[in-house]
């Protein structure tokens, strides 16, 4: 039996296609797959759901790493997120490995870069970026990054720069912490498009419930572009998928803020959505268990602070950047950019090389699917 720490939908669908005609497994796995599809729709994951509580398997054998989530309750971690992120930065830099940071030029990855630079030893930190990263934040490139150890991938394939022996730090999960997501799906307007703010607040997920089913998958997503044949997994730790936001106290800070309704959410004006789209969101919301719903009734929305634009979001990170760089123009006026559009040409087009990774370090490539034994990955 092999245990997956990450996989994509191509891998799951391949397993399904192999087993749906098997007399022993077809009925059971079909039920699992129906559950998988339902959860995938409810959380808009763009990758197979993986239950961080390890209670649901969705038919596949998953292994949850140390990057786990605390319970959904309020535990005192202080009112300031910055010291918690700084502590995580220090921890990452103390692991005696080279540290790569994926820098897009956006708010989240710039915060990550500035923090890691404070705690990295000489020559420990390397910046992986694209030409679009320079376009997003030219001032920081000219005044800081240009003189650091960095690699500019000019082929729109920044994930190909990831090295097995390095710690690779991403900033993917900040959007999720602020209750949104944005990829190349941002041009859409429906429940299957994943826009940062497209879903009416009345029908949004409870953040913690959503993270419980997508955290590891989203945090490890860049392994899909990894070119090597094996990865390192040591003591239940995966250095290729690290984030400053995967610290338990950092996650708890966001849980507390959401419990107390202190973090604003972006509202999508209802008049920009068709009746069909709104109805679809409502139908998805009705599928959710009550603990998965941000609001139990429409009246609950009155208790949630609303941001009129993305520029009012992530003020904790914007304040930090303004303080560290003095560049208030960037800090408070940087809009949301789908950075993968300039950094990774095959982020979502099903041509990236890696489709699954196991906890023994083995990597399954797209062109190896026909040679795997699907029974190696199915729960008993």
Would you say residue 40 lies in a domain? no
Would you say residue 151 lies in a domain? yes
Would you say residue 190 lies in a domain? yes
Dihedrals phi, psi of 243, to nearest 5 degrees: -145, 150
Total Cβ atoms within 10 A of residue 296: 8
Domain count along the chain: 1
Distance CA(273)–CA(270), nearest Å, equals: 5
Would you say residue 223 lies in a domain? yes
Would you say residue 25 lies in a domain? no
3-state secondary structure labels for all residues of 36-65: HHHHHHHHCCCCCCCCCCCCCCCCECECCC
Contacts 24+ apart (CB under 8 A), 291-296: 291/72, 291/206, 291/209, 292/42, 292/205, 292/206, 292/209, 292/210, 293/205, 293/206, 294/179, 294/201, 294/204, 294/205, 294/206, 294/207, 295/201, 295/202, 295/203, 295/204
CATH of the domain at 272: 3.40.50
Distance CA(183)–CA(171), nearest Å, equals: 13
3-state secondary structure labels for all residues of 92-140: HHCCCCCEEEECCCCHHHHHHHHHHHHHCCCCCEEEEEEHHHHHHCHHH
Would you say residue 36 lies in a domain? no
Per-residue pLDDT, 184: 36
Per-residue pLDDT, 194: 44
Q: Which two tokens stand for residue 53?
A: 């509580």
Would you say residue 321 lies in a domain? yes
Distance CA(31)–CA(11), nearest Å, equals: 17
Would you say residue 164 lies in a domain? yes
Q: What is the pLDDT along the chain (380 residues), one digit of tens a residue?
A: 899 999 999 999 999 898 887 777 777 788 888 888 899 889 876 778 999 988 888 889 999 987 678 989 999 999 999 999 999 999 999 999 999 999 999 999 999 999 999 999 999 999 999 999 999 999 999 999 999 999 999 999 999 999 999 999 999 889 889 886 543 333 334 444 444 557 888 899 999 999 999 999 989 999 999 999 999 998 888 999 999 999 999 999 999 999 999 999 887 666 677 888 889 889 999 999 999 999 999 899 999 998 888 899 999 999 999 999 999 999 999 988 877 778 888 877 788 999 999 999 999 999 999 999 999 998 87
Domain that holds residue 266: 69-354
| pLDDT tens string 56-101 | 888 899 999 876 789 899 999 999 999 999 999 999 999 999 999 9
């Amino acid at each position: 039996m092999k245990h997956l720490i990450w996989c994509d939908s191509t891998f799951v669908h391949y397993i399904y296609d192999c087993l749906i005609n098997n007399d022993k497994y077809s009925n059971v796995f079909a039920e699992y797959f129906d559950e998988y599809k339902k959860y995938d729709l409810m959380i808009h994951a763009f990758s197979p759901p993986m239950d961080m509580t390890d209670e649901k398997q969705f038919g596949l054998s998953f292994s949850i790493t140390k990057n786990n989530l605390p319970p959904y309750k309020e535990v005192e971690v202080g009112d300031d997120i910055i010291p918690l992120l700084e502590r995580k930065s220090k921890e990452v830099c103390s692991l005696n490995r080279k540290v790569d940071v994926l820098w897009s030029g956006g708010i989240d990855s710039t915060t990550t870069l500035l923090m890691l630079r404070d705690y990295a030893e000489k020559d420990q930190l390397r910046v992986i970026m694209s030409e679009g990263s320079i376009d997003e934040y030219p001032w920081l490139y000219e005044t800081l990054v240009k003189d650091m150890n960095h690699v500019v991938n000019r082929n729109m394939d920044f994930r190909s720069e990831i090295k097995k022996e390095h710690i690779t730090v991403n900033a993917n999960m900040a959007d999720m912490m602020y209750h949104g997501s944005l990829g190349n799906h941002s041009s859409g307007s429906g429940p299957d498009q994943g826009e940062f703010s497209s879903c009416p607040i009345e029908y949004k997920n409870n953040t913690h419930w959503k993270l419980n089913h997508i955290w590891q998958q989203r945090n490890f997503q860049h392994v899909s572009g990894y070119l090597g044949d094996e990865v390192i997994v040591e003591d239940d730790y995966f250095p290729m998928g690290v984030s400053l936001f995967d610290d338990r106290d950092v996650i708890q800070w966001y849980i507390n803020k959401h419990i107390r309704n202190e973090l604003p959410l972006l509202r999508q004006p209802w008049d920009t959505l068709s009746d069909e789209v709104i109805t679809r969101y409502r139908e998805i919301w009705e599928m959710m268990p009550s603990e998965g719903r941000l609001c139990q009734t429409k009246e609950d929305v009155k208790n949630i602070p609303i941001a009129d634009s993305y520029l009012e979001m992530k003020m904790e990170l914007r304040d930090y950047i303004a303080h560290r760089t003095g560049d208030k123009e960037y800090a408070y006026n940087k809009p949301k950019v789908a950075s993968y559009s300039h950094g990774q040409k095959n982020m979502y087009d099903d041509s990236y090389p890696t489709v699954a990774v196991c906890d023994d370090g083995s990597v399954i490539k797209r062109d190896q699917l026909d040679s795997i034994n699907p029974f190696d990955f199915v729960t008993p």
